[in-house]
Amino acid sequence: MQRFQNYVLGQWIDGQGVETPLFNALTGAQIGEASSAGLDFADVLTYARQKGYALRKMTFQERGRMLKALALFLMERKAKYYEISALTGATKVDSWIDIEGGIGNLFANASLRRQFPDLPYYVDGVAAPLSKNGTFIGHHIMVPKEGVAVHINAFNFPIWGMLEKIAVNLMAGVPAVVKPSEYTCFLTEVMVRDIIDSKILPEGALQLVCGLGRGILDSVDARDVVTFTGSAATGKLLKGLPRIAEQSVSFNLEADSLNATVLGQAAVPGTEEFDLFVKECVKEMTIKAGQKCTAVRRIIVPENLLDEVQGAIAARLATTKIGDPATEGVRMGALATKLQVERVRANVDLLAQTQQMVFGNLDDFEVVGANKEAGAFFPPVLFRNENPFTATAVHDIEAFGPVATIMPYKDMDAAIELAKMGKGSLVSSIVTPSNAEAVAYVVGAASMHGRILVLNKDCAKESTGHGSPMPLLTHGGPGRAGGGEEMGGKRGVLHYLQRTAIQGHPSTITAITQQFQVGADMPEAQPHVFRKHFEELVVGETVFTHKHTVTDADIVNFANVSGDNFYAHMDATSLEGTIFERRVAHGYFILSKAAGLFVDPKKGPVLLNYGIEEARFTKPVYPGATIGVRFTVKEKIDQEKRSEEDIAKGIVKFLVDVYDETGETVALATILTMVKKLTDA
């Protein structure tokens, strides 16, 4: 019998005894066993904190490149994961969501490196002036937490559940211990073996616990982050452990919820939106056999369309073949385990006490290419609840399978109220061609939902659907959904960083943040910054340019070249009642002239200027004013080569501070330049 092992303390280890026998969801045959009994979890966490420290030393750019390399490595081996995923009862589409959706999280988080500095820590926001003369300022930095991310994942997505979480903590520089569900850990284990063999991650960055993982939270402390995905009851039990409260451990709970979809009143039969709604409902009931934390459980439709929607959904469900996904035509596989079949059936029985089952038969249904009794099969079930404000079990009981309830609403306020009766959901959706309906629903329902999809014919072709959380958007929800947040692009990474306020002289804060702060020392660049390679540039060094006196001719010439003949520049007789004393120079002329002053025109390491950020004009410039520029290295960001032939380079941000004869700033901007490196690395 195959033993699925734990990867801890730098080695693959068997647990003691057999905690969990593992079965093929389609045939019921045992495929192996797993156990984590006997593991010393205190040692496991200590090992991660010590060995995983290498992650903290890496910059965000290095971590991002590491994630990209890992994603490419795993994508080359995806066929193996599909083969094993089939044992969980998944169809090819189900497996695609789990496997390639999970790897996609690695790619998405790798791309976030462009939003972070080339440092091991993040500089948050802008400086806060704290003194009259500017010699004392404040700022914020965010450093990687020195603990471990302990991820306790659900059975339904053994790969996606792991990768969507570790992608974020690894990007932040924090090691992880992953505890997948014991029932589907065999798939997670296969991928982790490949990850370890790749040697792409530093040792200690990832450990795996198969089996029950009892005691895994006994040694967490204030440095750690715990995430849990699964049932609300189990999540609340873990979150309430004395150790979590005593040590003030960050705990992120993402629980299954009673998600709702709403058919707008404008989406009548015959519209594309009506058909999209029916298709989306059936898809949400049958993908992963309804075993998704984001699946639709409550279908809310206008009361006058209740029969039409019910009939349309039932008709599509009737064509859904259940069975072995390897058999042609099968569109829905098995639940993950026989235990899940028992639990779903028990909750279906409870729901049936207060509402009518209008589609599905728990005992009489056909399974194609497999044995119904041997496998963990369960048929799609559609309930009808005509009084959802009084028969409220549907808002409290979740059957975690291919089960949903259709219910009527009178007006949009009622639809919003019904959606919120789920007491907090991960996701809701509204299908409507009416933007007015969409606005009313989103604004009214948002307070109790983590995500809302608005679906219509214009976005349907590219929409990822109701049940698909995306790596660059937050995944979580209030109330019953757990109150946590996962993914969310940069937001997700920040969960694993400690924000610390820093105070000091602008020069000191510049040294810490590696971003120039106003008031810091500005040593004159020798030679000109455009003559220096990326490695030679120092944050804060400055070019002090020659000066130029603005004339009426400058204004007229710029107007002729640009076509900008705005009255304030060209008609001195029209200025009464404005803020201008006389005709004023174009702001873009000031910036253009500034470039003429700070640019060193000879060929050198600067390859190109590709953008301007944060440009603003702070004081009118009239003919006769004399302007100069302080041109300062503001920030440097390393950039990897895309190919062997690519030029080794980095991104340099320069602060353009244009001032007049009084010394007062008249314009500010940040320009982005691409600068060649000295070496070809």
Which residues participate in catalysis according to the annotation? Answer: 254, 293
Question: CA-CA distance, 513 to 124, in Å (whole number)?
Answer: 9
Question: CA-CA distance, 142 to 171, in Å (whole number)?
Answer: 13
Question: CA-CA distance, 569 to 552, in Å (whole number)?
Answer: 9
Question: CA-CA distance, 405 to 421, in Å (whole number)?
Answer: 14
Question: Per-residue DSSP letters for 534-601?
Answer: GGG--TT-EEE---EE--HHHHHHHHHHH----HHHH-GGG-TTSS-SS----HHHHHHHHHHHH---
Give the up-direction half-sphere exposure of residue 168: CA atoms within 13 A in the CB hemisphere: 30
Size (the chain), residues: 681
Closest CA to 335 of 347, 318, 350: 347
- Cα dihedral 51, 53, 59, 63 sign: positive
User: Do 263 and 301 contact (CB within 8 A), yes or no?
Assistant: yes
Q: If 0-12 CB within 10 Å is exposed, 13-18 middle and 19+ buried, where does residue 197 land?
A: exposed
- What residues are paired with 296 via a beta bridge? 259
Find the Cα–Cα–Cα–Cα dihedral 124, 452, 152, 80, rounded to 10°: -100
Question: Per-residue DSSP letters for 238-262?
Answer: HHT-HHHHHTT-EEEEEE---EEEE
What single letter denotes the amino acid at residue 138?
G
Question: Per-residue DSSP letters for 446-485?
Answer: GGGBS-EEEE-TTTTTT---TT---TTSEEEESGGG-SEE
- What residues are paired with 7 via a beta bridge? 12, 208
Question: CA-CA distance, 452 to 298, in Å (whole number)?
Answer: 14
Closest CA to 377 of 406, 352, 348, 342: 342
Question: CA-CA distance, 133 to 278, in Å (whole number)?
Answer: 65
Token pair for residue 482? 């757990």
Cα 534 to Cα 121, 596, 647, 671, 679: the distances in Å are: 21, 22, 12, 15, 10
Max distance between CA atoms of the chain, in angstroms, equals 93
